[in-house]
């Protein structure tokens, strides 16, 4: 928990007065939202767009001024977490079920700052099941197509019932040994009928801040092949 908090607080230092800020979803980002709330109470003037009802509720409780895309067209800086990040800054996101809104916000952001603890840094993506958001109608067919693609798909449930995203869709968690070519997998998934979006974030991250259990915080250097 301490490593997550350290990474989150480091990222919030990048927020300047007058910015439009994107607020991601998850336990690490919650620390960032709390820290931002402290700065707002001290007079920092920002507007924010949240990627989930959970983050929206927390931001509202802390007095952060929330807006929508009806109010702004571009976000200056977004802070979000990741379930996995590789040396090229390819990401798996969606463990919290907000991957579609997170990708919409990321695509509208000038800068996407990813905050993680050291356990999320991997050599290759794939250990964490890849979340895929799907339309409920015919999801069984979509699952079969995911299986045919080489995944072991499983419908995400809560109390025996399908988990419903903020967009009214289902999440299918797709297990695979390793994702060797994230870009190819991303494109293949998004061409599949029934899939709304997948949790591979390719080319979105501007900076990755890693918190370590020894109390240090470092920026992850990007490997360029």
The pLDDT of residue 144 is above 90: yes
The pLDDT of residue 17 is above 70: yes
Q: Which residues pair with 21 in a beta bridge?
A: 48, 77
Residue 224 lies in a domain: no
Residue 83 lies in a domain: yes
Alpha carbon distance 26, 71 (integer Å):
25
CATH number reported for the structural domain that contains residue 100 in this entry:
3.40.50.1360
Number of domains in the chain: 2
75 & 176 share domain: no
Structural domain including 173 reads 130-198
Instruction: Centre a 10 Å sphere on the Cβ of residue 161 and count the other Cβ atoms it contains.
Output: 7
16 & 104 share domain: yes
Catalytic-labelled residue, pool 56, 102, 133, 197 = 102
Coil, strand or helix: which one is 163?
Answer: coil
197 is catalytic: no
Alpha carbon distance 15, 20 (integer Å):
9
1 pLDDT band (50/70/90 cuts)? confident
Residue 73 lies in a domain: yes
Q: For the residues 146-167, what does the mean pLDDT come to?
A: 96
56 & 27 share domain: yes
Coil, strand or helix: which one is 150?
Answer: coil
pLDDT-above-90 percentage for the chain:
98
8 & 39 share domain: yes
The pLDDT of residue 225 is above 80: no
Q: For the residues 24-40, what does the mean pLDDT come to?
A: 97
Name the residue among 10, 98, 17, 23 with its Cα closest to residue 60.
23
**What is the overall mean pLDDT for the chain?**
97
Alpha carbon distance, N-terminus to C-terminus of the chain? 33
Q: For the residues 75-102, what does the mean pLDDT come to?
A: 98
């Amino acid at each position: 928990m301490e490593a997550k908090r350290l990474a989150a607080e480091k990222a919030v230092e990048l927020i300047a007065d007058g910015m439009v800020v994107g607020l991601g979803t998850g336990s690490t980002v919650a620390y960032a939202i709390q820290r931002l709330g402290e700065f707002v109470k001290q007079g920092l003037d920002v507007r924010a767009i949240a990627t989930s009802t959970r983050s929206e509720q927390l931001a509202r409780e802390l007095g952060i001024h929330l807006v929508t895309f009806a109010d702004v067209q571009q976000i200056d800086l977004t802070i979000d977490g990741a379930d996995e990040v590789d040396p090229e800054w390819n990401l798996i996101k969606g463990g919290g079920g907000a991957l579609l809104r997170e990708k919409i916000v990321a695509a509208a952001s000038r800068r996407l700052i990813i905050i993680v603890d050291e356990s999320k840094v991997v050599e290759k993506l794939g250990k964490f099941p890849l979340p895929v958001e799907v339309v409920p109608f015919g999801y069984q067919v979509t699952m079969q197509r995911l299986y045919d693609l080489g995944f072991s798909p499983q419908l995400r449930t809560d109390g025996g019932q399908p988990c419903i995203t903020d967009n009214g869709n289902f999440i299918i968690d797709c297990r695979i040994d390793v994702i060797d070519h994230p870009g190819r997998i991303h494109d293949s998934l998004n061409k599949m009928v029934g899939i709304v979006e997948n949790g591979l974030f390719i080319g979105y991250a501007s900076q990755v801040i890693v918190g370590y259990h020894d109390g240090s915080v470092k920026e992850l250097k990007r490997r360029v092949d």
